[in-house]
Amino acid sequence: MAGHHLSDERVQAFERDGFLSPLPCFTPEETRGLRERLEAIEAENVSGRFGLHITTGWAWDLVHDPRIVDPITDVLGPNVLLWSIDWFIKEPGASYVSYHQDATYWGLEPHNVVTAWVALSDAGPATGPMKFLPGTHTWPILEQEDTFAENNMLSRGQTITQELDESTAVLAPLSPGQMSLHHVRVIHASEPNTTGDRRIGMVLRYCATDVRQTKVDGDMAVLVAGADEYGHFSLIDRPREDMGESEREMQRDHGRVRQRALHSADYE
Ligand SMILES: O=C(O)CCC(=O)C(=O)O
């Protein structure tokens, strides 16, 4: 499919490799502002950063930002939902991410799901940026083991058990304000952060409207482009009041549904 925002070559590269990096997104000033907002929320309540689009108008606007959503529509088609905001914040030290496929444990099918990973800090080579095994999004789901290994940033320490040819891995370093896109089945990992600053990834998961949640009932999403002709998710509205009572209640519901989906072990 020819892109309307990305060049045809870039859309073809995504289709071939299962990832695309780097893409421009925010200015240095916007990026600093977003980092400040995130860190203010973290200082109050670390778990408040999940589902921020449900509780704050600025995060709602952010997940609709055309600099993110336009390239996403080029690779997913015109009708798109935002499924989640995650954060991969890698402090200096030993934390790492083992080789995995996202599709294994989210319960989303079909796999028309793409992540925008936006750097709110330096995500250069020494910070442990993501690395991808190109073309592996065309592979089936591989067996993963829950290792719960210390320092593994993944919730279950999930790791692909079969031997992988790591010599093909492509590092995807990002400058502050740049982003990468990756397909839900592409195999990826990241090494420890050897710098003195935290590496902050704001991780937006988008899917086409034909995708459904197969593991739990009651999953929620935000329509960010086109129309939802399927109705597989409860659609979330723009928050009326930042951190209002009903907004925070919905954020808690959203968190409970996601925990049930991520921690149900029915993918083995
Ligand atoms: O931030 C990282 O190093 C890993 C992120 C990741 O696994 C993901 O966004 O799917």
For residue 268, being part of any structural domain is answered with: no
- Res 268 pLDDT > 50: no
> For residue range 148-175, what is the model confidence (pLDDT) as tens digits?
999 999 988 889 999 999 999 999 999 9
- Res 2 pLDDT > 60: no
**What percent of the chain clears pLDDT 70, i.e. is strictly above it?**
97
Distance between Cα 227 and ligand 1 center (Å): 29
For residue 2, being part of any structural domain is answered with: no
For residue 1, being part of any structural domain is answered with: no
For residue 18, being part of any structural domain is answered with: yes
Instruction: Find the CATH number of the domain harbouring 56.
Output: 2.60.120.620
Mutate to test the pocket of ligand 1, among 101, 190, 202, 207 (most ligand atoms within 8 A of CB): 190
Question: 120: which DSSP letter?
Answer: S
Domain carrying residue 188? 8-263
Distance between Cα 229 and ligand 1 center (Å): 30
12/6 Cα distance (integer angstroms): 10
Average pLDDT of span 4-10? 94
Least confident of 85-99, 101-115, 148-162: 148-162
State residue 267's pLDDT score.
Answer: 38
205/19 Cα distance (integer angstroms): 14
Mutate to test the pocket of ligand 1, among 174, 188, 199, 206 (most ligand atoms within 8 A of CB): 188
Say if ligand 1 is within 6 A of residue 95 CB.
no
Distance between Cα 241 and ligand 1 center (Å): 31
73/224 Cα distance (integer angstroms): 10
> Residue 105: which pLDDT band, with cuts at 50, 70 and 90?
confident
Structure tokens at 92: 């200096």
For residue 197, being part of any structural domain is answered with: yes
Mean pLDDT, the chain, whole residue set? 94
Distance, first Cα to last Cα, the chain = 34
Distance between Cα 245 and ligand 1 center (Å): 31
Is 128 exposed, middle or buried (CB count within 10 Å of its CB: 0-12, 13-18, 19+)? Answer: buried
22/136 Cα distance (integer angstroms): 19
140/122 Cα distance (integer angstroms): 33
**Number of domains present in the structure of the chain:** 1
238/117 Cα distance (integer angstroms): 22
- Res 220 pLDDT > 90: yes
Nearest residue to 64 via CA among 174, 211, 223: 223
Higher-scoring residue by pLDDT: 268, 123 = 123
61/259 Cα distance (integer angstroms): 25
